[in-house]
């Protein structure tokens, strides 16, 4: 199998990254709630990725 065939699809990687970001945001909310704190709005927004065919 070639390296290109074994490499994950860019769309799959982007979807996994977005899923991980959502989980991190949710965990941050839970931790802040447990600590009785409020979270500041995110300062940096990552531009939305789009697949290029």
- The count of structural domains within the chain is 1
Rounded Cα–Cα distance for residues 53 and 36 (Å): 46
| pLDDT tens digits for range 1-53 | 555 666 778 889 999 999 999 999 999 989 988 888 776 766 666 666 666 65
Q: How many CB atoms lie within 10 A of CB 42?
A: 10
| C-alpha dist (Å) from residue 46 to 18, 20, 32, 38, 39 | 10, 13, 22, 22, 18
Exposed, middle or buried, 14 (CB in 10 Å: 0-12/13-18/19+)? Answer: middle
Residue 46, pLDDT score: 62
Residue 8, pLDDT score: 77
Q: What are the tokens at 5?
A: 């065939």
Is 3 inside a domain boundary?
no
Is 26 inside a domain boundary?
yes
Is 43 inside a domain boundary?
no
């Amino acid at each position: 199998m070639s390296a290109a065939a074994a490499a994950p699809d860019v769309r799959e990687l982007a979807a996994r990254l977005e899923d991980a970001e959502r989980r991190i945001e949710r965990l941050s909310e839970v931790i802040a709630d447990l600590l009785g704190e409020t979270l500041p709005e995110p300062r940096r927004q990552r531009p939305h990725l789009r697949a290029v065919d």
